[in-house]
Structure 1
């Protein structure tokens, strides 16, 4: 082996070792730009140890060369100490907390509150049922005096310009056949709609619909529950 080769061997071994330990990307390796003094010590020890194989004179020279090479190698590396994905050399905010979104310069991105979409207001529902006052004569679509009085009390609200439409929906309890209850609910809803129109509500604003016993709001096994289910709803849009 030539003298030049023997001189270069310790330096090459030290350089290879430090290059493998130093980091270029994620800061996971312990040796990088910020730890160059440690790299110099390691390089000197490796170089001196390998040089001593040849002679004591070689140990001193190889150790010095290894120390210089080690420091330069690690100083040239670019780590990422705060692990934000931006190399330390370009990181203007080197101590960014973990999991913080950062810009290309390593500084936290501005955070904006999430936009909230307000839910569209649903229709107002006015419920009239037999629990308060009987709405209809037994097994009939004829409005009782109590029902007429309740509806008259609502005319001011229903005629307000903010109310664009009124849907009248009739419901029954579960006594009787389904088909009969459906037909009865339709007649009762139509009866309420006709009365509202007779009291001055614009006919173009009013529609009616029956849903029979399909949408109970209380237990049909009790009289109190059935009284709640025998109801008319006014849906105001």
Structure 2
């Protein structure tokens, strides 16, 4: 006998989920689409799961809803989960987590990353990097670009080389923590992309930073 109440409960829960949005971006239309497609996919999965699992249609509906719903939501659903986990793990470290569509970016300030004129990872940087490595091992559907930045003090060529060495130091450390090397890339921008004025000490401190950008891997949607 088909267990209608179970299907009905799945449908109610999933349709209510369609109305919810990403807690970090209440206005982004992509989050509405993610929730809607995920909810509709889950409903279809519930029906399919119930039909496939003849012995226990209720259990089959629940499994079908979970599997097909997550797949139907696509990369946006995946990025929502990863963003939430990164915000939790980066809390109190000084690392800022930003989100723009499917792209997640982590801004790591110079006061926790490297000492002046050094590409050796500072002791205060290990905890954020270890947390990142844990996340990257768990969430493996995106590529990771590490970009080093400096202020404008000193020769431009020297700063370009220093920023590249710092970015590579981060990549090397993440690899040593078990992050797949094929997902990682590094780049040095030197002083060419300031986020504040180099005329003040505070502005120069903001410009000395490492940015880690996560984008969907090729073939992931």
TM-score by length of 1: 0.47
- Kept in 2: contact 1:128–1:232 (CA 8 A): yes
Offset at residue 155 of structure 1 (A)? 2.0
Offset at residue 197 of structure 1 (A)? 0.7
Q: Match for residue 114 of structure 2?
A: 136
Among 102, 106, 116, the alignment partner of 1:126 is 106
2:204 aligned with 1:226, yes or no? yes
- In the alignment, the residues of structure 2 paired with residue 198 and residue 145 of structure 1 have an alpha-carbon distance, to the nearest angstrom, of 16
2:156 aligned with 1:178, yes or no? yes
Which has the higher relative contact order, 1 or 2, with Cα contacts under 8 A spaced 6 or more apart? 2
- In the alignment, the residues of structure 2 paired with residue 123 and residue 235 of structure 1 have an alpha-carbon distance, to the nearest angstrom, of 7
Distance 1:227 1:152, change over 3 A: same
Deviation per residue, 1:76-114 (Å, 9 max, x gap) = xxxxxxxxxxxxxxxxxxxxxxxxxxxxxxxxxxxxxxx
- In the alignment, the residues of structure 2 paired with residue 227 and residue 153 of structure 1 have an alpha-carbon distance, to the nearest angstrom, of 24
Is the partner of 1:217 in helix, strand or coil?
coil
- Kept in 2: contact 1:193–1:208 (CA 8 A): yes
Question: Is the helix fraction higher in 1 or 2?
Answer: 2
- Kept in 2: contact 1:186–1:211 (CA 8 A): yes
Deviation per residue, 1:31-71 (Å, 9 max, x gap) = xxxxxxxxxxxxxxxxxxxxxxxxxxxxxxxxxxxxxxxxx
Deviation per residue, 1:207-230 (Å, 9 max, x gap) = 000111000001111111111111
Offset at residue 137 of structure 1 (A)? 2.2
**What are the ranges of 5 or more consecutive residues in structure 1 without an aligned counterpart?**
1-115
Among 139, 142, 146, the alignment partner of 1:161 is 139
TM-score by length of 2: 0.50
**What are the ranges of 5 or more consecutive residues in structure 2 without an aligned counterpart?**
1-28, 34-99, 216-221
Question: Is the strand fraction higher in 1 or 2?
Answer: 2
Is the partner of 2:138 in helix, strand or coil?
coil
When the two chains are superposed, the root-mean-square deviation of aligned CA atoms in Å is 2.2
